[in-house]
Structure 1
Amino acid sequence: MQHQRNAHDKTVAAVGDNPTPIWGMSVRERLRRIAAARNLAAAPSTEEAAILANSAFVFDPVWMAHIEDQPGTVLTRDGVPVLAHPANDEQRRLVLAAMRADEALGHGRGITILRAEDERGIFNEALRKRERPFAERLTPATVRAIERASYVGAYKGVTDLLTKYLWPEWAFALTRIAARLGITPNQVTALGSLLCIVATVCFWYGWFWTGLATGLVFMVLDTVDGKLARCTITSSALGNAWDHGVDLVHPPIWWWAWARGCAVYGVPLDDRTFWLVIGTMLVGYVAQRLIEGAFILRFGMHIHVWRRFDSRFRLVTARRNPNMVILFAAMLIGRPDYGIVAVAVWTAFSLVVHLVRLVQAMLVRGGGRPVESWLA
């Protein structure tokens, strides 16, 4: 008799065990966190679970979301089942036998097999990239490679040039250390928030090099907290709101403090220039955010993933990190006032680009053509 399940029977069970830890936690604990993030409960036994996970392997959490609503689907690596959502008891017996024997799963019986080795990827809208989620056999020898794959999988594909090219390795090393020491993402965010305030004070008093150094550490930690949360499956509503809240609020405060600090440094902006710079940056910053939000509401995706140009422009658009590059360059010639004026000009230019792209997308939709991401 087939064991019947309904849409509310969302349970997960691990098959076998594995003593090798990953990101400072056991395979079973990692599975528990992945399941909890998807509102999936632990099943009393493998015979009663809706989803089965082979403890000999670890997989990107995106795979759980991918097969959760696809009964009869099995993810394999080298033919061996890694993650399975059996549609009936016969499929369950076949999957369990293959997992326990560490053997390849045969085709047929209505099973849809997803091979982790396949080249086709999955578009992850949240991280703005097309990716090939990992699913790998976990042994002591493969831990570091898997942790790197997990870390890379948590990285946004479309982001600024510093986050993408300068400090991925720094952040990876810090993320591994934090995971092993049991440091939580919120603790990293708290330290980063403190450094953000310190950098603001430094800019205000014209201590620009100290502020830039402090801001650099903060910006790296701003990457680490999110990667740590994703890699250790410890994201929380509080942490997400805190991190994004700090990211949203502090940039214009930094620019204001920098403009104020120019006077202390000895290269003050005249009143007209000061307020023109501040007004341009504030209006430009808020307007760009509103345009990005409007694009998401209207087209269901980030403006930065519409076409290849948008993804490339995201590398340098007037966000905090590219603006900090401009300010750093200005300090190399000892003219922080030139830097803040350049940031205002670049902010205005970036605003125009965003506005033009929004209008162009609306015209494309109005002409009956779909507005789709080039990454999809």
Structure 2
Amino acid sequence: MTTEDKTPITLDFVPARSPVKLFGLSGRERIMKMIKDRRADGVVIGADDPQAASSGDWLIMDEDCLYDGPVIDWLLAGPDRAVDADGARAGRVSSKGEQQDAVRAWIKGAGSLPEGIDLASPDSIGAAYRTALRKRETPYCLRISAIGREKAEQRLFAGSYKGVTDFVTKYVWPWPAFHLTRLCAALKISPNMVTSLSLVLVLAAFWFFWQGDFASGLLAAWGMTFLDTVDGKLARTTLTSSKWGNIFDHGIDLVHPPFWYWSWAHGLSSGLEAGVGPGSSASWLGLSSLDWALWVILVGYVAGRLMEGYFIARFKLELHIWRRFDSFFRLIVSRRNPNLILLSLGLLLGDPAAGFLWVALWTIASLAVHGVQIVQAERAARNHPLSSWLDGALRQDS
């Protein structure tokens, strides 16, 4: 994110008494990265640099504080402003000298804020709708020494999580993903390294499914979905997101599911032809029904993506964040993780073919729901532009 204010800014720090690294970054490093992401023109200079601005503004940040992105955005949006949340503070002043010294002392907890400084709390800055994460969230400003490293990292991790996603990602993976993300950060493992490992598991799952070894394939597949959660969180908590990483990760996510379904169908067909018996459903329905189920799943996968793309192009809004129901349906819609649950249940019941047929039926049902959603959106758009229920809730809370 960038800011339109191009006023020269010198960045100054109040040192932390006991510096703590969060996901491998010190307070100073994290603040610098966040501000550089927003002021890519290189205006921000360390206060100890001989080129420190003799004119322009001074932005004074506390190394012992954890600042949310919208808080920094607000400080960068204009001069003579400060933020305070139970002693977690920062300020921007437009003049050097006594005012700058007074703000530094105030951040340390000594003295009062000079007159003429606009003071705000994260709550008064307002809840922010995070488009990339599909959620609304009140900004935060926290003193790390007051809450401890564990809680500070938990807050950072929670802030990196998508609000609208599938059931497994939202409710099953957060706890183990948090601990693996911490470990990866400590070991200097990059998000792209995690994504590369997930690609290996994509290929392994495909191979096992193709061979009819559905149990091993599902272990690889679920491992991949877990790493698919970790790589994005690692990128956001360590501030190492990149355009290539985004393409790499989302490209894998978009392409691999149809190949898994194809290989599962092949594994079923091979077992049936060999007389191994991949389940009573396959024996009863035969190869032709498995072929039809595969085509339903593949065509349905593409159609579902196209319908979601149409919704964005037509209404400038993601389908799954329009209404509360749409966000709820995203938890269970026929996507990779919910479909893996159906396949796993089929295998646990000793009938992997049944799981495959359930995926085909759920794909049809999901497409029908999407069709109704689009028709309803077309009707609603005749009266007013569509907006997300999350945005509406944000306005009600502010």
* TM-score computed with the length of structure 2 as normaliser: 0.85
- Residue type of the alignment partner of 2:289: T
- Residue type of the alignment partner of 1:55: E
Contact 1:79 1:103 in 2 (8 A): no
- Residue type of the alignment partner of 1:17: P
SS of the counterpart of 1:139? helix
Q: 1:264 to 1:87 in 2, by over 3 A?
A: farther
Distance 1:231 1:104 in 2: 34
Residue 60 of structure 2: aligned partner = 52
Residue 211 of structure 1: aligned partner = 217
Instruction: Find out whether 1:360 has 2:342 as its counterpart.
Output: no
Distance 1:294 1:85 in 2: 44
User: Quick check: 240-249 or 265-274, which moved more?
Assistant: 265-274
Q: 1:277 to 1:107 in 2, by over 3 A?
A: farther
1:369 positional shift: 2.7
1:172 positional shift: 0.4
Residue 3 of structure 1: aligned partner = none
Unaligned runs of 5+ in 1: 1-5
Instruction: Find out whether 1:233 has 2:239 as its counterpart.
Output: yes
Residue 116 of structure 2: aligned partner = 109
Give CA-to-partner distance per residue, 1:192-217, whole Å, 9 cap, x none. Answer: 11011101111111111111111111
Q: 1:35 to 1:370 in 2, by over 3 A?
A: same
SS of the counterpart of 2:294? helix
Residue 75 of structure 1: aligned partner = 83
User: Quick check: 220-229 or 64-73, which moved more?
Assistant: 64-73
- Residue type of the alignment partner of 2:104: L
Distance 1:355 1:66 in 2: 41
- Residue type of the alignment partner of 1:371: L
SS of the counterpart of 1:25? coil
* TM-score computed with the length of structure 1 as normaliser: 0.89
Q: 1:12 to 1:201 in 2, by over 3 A?
A: farther
Within-5 A mapping of 1:245-284: 245-265=251-271, 266-267=277-278, 268=282, 270-284=286-300
- Residue type of the alignment partner of 1:61: G
Distance 2:307 2:137 in 1: 26
SS of the counterpart of 1:35? helix
Overall identity of the aligned pairs, in %: 38
Q: 1:176 aligns with which of 163, 178, 182?
A: 182
Question: Computing the radius of gyration over CA atoms, which structure comes out larger, 1 or 2?
Answer: 2
Give CA-to-partner distance per residue, 1:341-375, whole Å, 9 cap, x none. Answer: 11111111111211221221121111x23412111
User: Quick check: 174-183 or 280-289, which moved more?
Assistant: 280-289
Residue 64 of structure 1: aligned partner = 72
Instruction: Find out whether 1:28 has 2:44 as its counterpart.
Output: no
Query: How well do the aligned residues superpose, as a CA RMSD in angstroms?
Result: 2.5
Residue 304 of structure 1: aligned partner = 320
Distance 1:262 1:62 in 2: 51
Distance 1:12 1:358 in 2: 50
Instruction: Find out whether 1:98 has 2:100 as its counterpart.
Output: no
User: Quick check: 88-97 or 354-363, which moved more?
Assistant: 88-97
Residue 375 of structure 1: aligned partner = 390
Distance 1:277 1:97 in 2: 69
- Residue type of the alignment partner of 2:206: T
Distance 1:22 1:57 in 2: 11
SS of the counterpart of 1:345? helix
Distance 1:183 1:132 in 2: 30
- Residue type of the alignment partner of 2:384: R
